[in-house]
Amino acid sequence: MLTLVLLLALFTTWPTLDLQVSALFHRPDHGFIGNDWALVRGVYLAVPWLGWAAAMAGALVAATHWSGPRGLGVRWWRRTMVLALMMLLGVAGLVNGVLKEHWGRARPVAVQAFGGERQFSAAGVPVDQCSRNCSFVSGHAATGFAVGAIGLLGSPRTRRRWARAGLIAGLLVGLGRISQGGHFLSDVLFAGLAMQACGCALRLAWLRVRVWVRRPRAGRLALSGRSG
């Protein structure tokens, strides 16, 4: 919640920060320079496929190992499942299905400041400058941030390690999208916040399920002890 408040305060008091950052990658006589870089274009094309591959892998594990790891190993069974849930609920659901389709924010390449016809709008404010697949928030960056979900159900040390990996992946992918004129800085940062919220919700749900599963078992053990 604190991060959300700080980001909203930053981009509300300094709305032109998005334009200033995007301008670093824009040439008036050329356009956004990121589109000239083969690595950036390659990452742009590969990230959605990698995201869907992770989701499909999780679905396959769920279909073939629904009752337990069965040779896959508890650690990677959990990691595969939670990564798939993050992709389906976080990236496909929250980011692409809700925010990008209903926020209405025009992409940098489409706003007047960079040669487009749409009006620039500050982050966090729903507008009507885009009808579908809009700028707020970045789906590519969200997919990068989702890497952090791999360690979501592990120890504190594991969670920190994978959280750092997800942060780096999300920021690097997001930087590429900024350089292409596909997203503003705030689109990337709020994508990270959205994925963090989704991850917290998944971890909380998992912890509650564990308590619910263990409670009957504890009751049976206590009853057995009294009987003996």
Predicted confidence (pLDDT) per residue in 150-170, tens digit: 998 888 999 999 999 999 999
At 228 the pLDDT is 43
Side chain identity at residue 71, one-letter code: G
Q: How far is CA 50 from CA 39, 58, 60, in A?
A: 16, 12, 15
Share of residues in the chain with pLDDT > 70 (%): 88
Question: Among all chains, which residue has been given the structure tokens 């594991």?
Answer: 158
At 72 the pLDDT is 62
- The pLDDT of residue 216 is above 80: no
Average pLDDT across the chain, whole number: 88
Which helix (H) or strand (E) covers residue 47, if one does?
A: helix 38-64
Residue ranges of domains in the chain: 2-6+38-213
Predicted confidence (pLDDT) per residue in 167-185, tens digit: 999 999 999 999 999 999 9
Contact yes or no for 172/34 (Cβ under 8 A): no
Task: Record the pTM.
Answer: 0.88
DSSP 72-137: S-HHHHHHHHHHHHIIIIIIIIIIIIIIHHHS-PPPGGGBGGGT-SBPP--TT---SS-SSS-SSS
Which helix (H) or strand (E) covers residue 59, if one does?
A: helix 38-64
Q: Domain 2-6+38-213's class?
A: mainly alpha
Share of residues in the chain with pLDDT > 90 (%): 67
DSSP 4-29: HHHHHHHHHH-TTHHHHHHHTTEETT
At 223 the pLDDT is 46
CA distance linking residue 174 with residue 167, whole number of Å: 10
Predicted confidence (pLDDT) per residue in 39-74, tens digit: 999 999 999 999 999 888 888 877 776 555 565 667
At 227 the pLDDT is 46
Query: Residue 126's pLDDT band (boundaries 50, 70, 90)?
Result: very high
**Main-chain phi, psi angles of 118, to 5 degrees:** -90, 160
